[in-house]
Homo-oligomer: A and B are copies of this chain.
Amino acid sequence: MAENKEITIYDIARYLKISATTVSRGLKNHPTINKNTCKKIAEAARILGYRSNTFASSLLSKTTHTLGVIVPRISSYFMSYVLAGMEDAASRQGYTLIINHSNESTEKEKVNALTMFNKRVDGLLISVAYDTRNIDHILPFFKKNIPVIFFDRTWSHPESMSVEIDNIKAGYEVTKHLLEQGFRKIAHLTGNLLRNVYADRLTGYKDALREYRIPYDEKKLFIGPLSENAGTQLAEKMIAMKVKDRPDAVFAANDTSAVYCMLKLKEAGFRIPGDIGFAGFNNDPISQVVTPHLTTVQYPGYQMGETAVNNLINHLKGITELHAIPKIILRAELMIRASSLKKKTL
């Protein structure tokens, strides 16, 4: 069988005894082509099993209808929702996603960026790795006027747009809530302060303390990878502390570390929230499964992905200008649950 022979517009042209030009135009219903001819062309394409050769047209148009996505980690609850939102938005508009993850390594991030650059994505969506210190590897995109959108872990750049939540506000609200509940020695477990998400939450935390006239105590700030282990270790440190030094609450910058810290403390006999209150971040499934349920911040991952992609595509279509909107803030919501409710009421 000739099943393997690819059908081109020339085959259709020969079949209908017309020119390839007309076929090319007919296939996209170009207004100058007779409606009837268009119909015949579409029909012939169907019969012959034609599929457009995207390379040939990309070669000419220099456009791929492909967006590159670089995330620190695919396998995270939050990020997988971002990707789901991106995928839905992209395919709704006829775009395809190329997804890479840096695995939190700046080196891999650089390689990924280069790959995307060489694959000539029409635009780039990126959330930077844990300890990325500069965006030299993104500069080539700006130079070539390829639009870049940062999301979640952002990086400010005059030609780019960021999509994020108001981390300062979220950090403030979490901390304020803990303060309202009567906690006064609140520890903050967070990640690399180079990252906006962590730096901003810390700022919010400090803001709330200031409001309550509680001096900020550096000894209550714990910086680490926010892993299960990081949570467990903080618990161990706390257990080893003298009572007067021991925090009476923990605000962790993600749920994983919060939960594992909680579990370890519970195991050691501490009551939550009676002895120690807890709040996390992200609203991962574990936050609603752990006992007591974890107070956290609902992070709109799906919506973040959707928003980022829609804005990128609007820019590509010339509907909007990226640099005109340096930042889009999505709504994040404090989810108050038992882990922080010392007073029984709100």
Contact = CB atoms under 8 A, between A and B. Distances in A.
B117 A51 contact: yes
Interface stretch (A28-36, A69-77, A150-158): A69-77
Interface string A55-83: 11011001000100000011111011101
A164 interface: no
Given A74-B87, A80-B74, A55 B52 contact: no
A290 interface: yes
Contact of A59 (B59, B289, B290): B59
Given A54-B120, A120-B54, A84 B88 contact: no
A53 interface: yes
Interface string A152-174: 00000000000000000000000
Contacts of A132: none
A144 B3 contact: yes
A341 to B, nearest CB: 18
Contacts of A87: 74, 99-101
Nearest to A83: B74
| Contact-residue bracket for chain A | 35 or more
Contacts of A119: 54, 96
Please state the number of chain copies in the assembly.
2
A291 interface: yes
Contact of A84 (B58, B74, B77): B74
B4 A145 contact: yes
A77 B100 CA distance: 17
Contact of A101 (B53, B84, B101, B112): B84
Contact of A289 (B56, B112, B290): B290
A221 interface: no
A148 interface: no
A316 to B, nearest CB: 16
A143 to B, nearest CB: 5
Interface in A88-120: 88, 91, 96-101, 103, 111-112, 115, 117-120
A246 to B, nearest CB: 24
A256 interface: yes
Contacts of A77: 75, 77, 80
The 3 closest A-B pairs by CB, nearest first: A80-B80, A75-B80, A55-B58
Given A52-B118, A74-B84, A96-B100, 17 more contacts: A6-B62, A54-B55, A55-B55, A55-B56, A66-B98, A74-B80, A75-B77, A75-B81, A77-B80, A83-B99, A87-B101, A88-B101, A91-B111, A96-B98, A259-B289, A285-B285, A289-B290
8 contacts: A6-B62, A51-B118, A55-B58, A59-B59, A75-B77, A75-B84, A87-B100, A97-B99
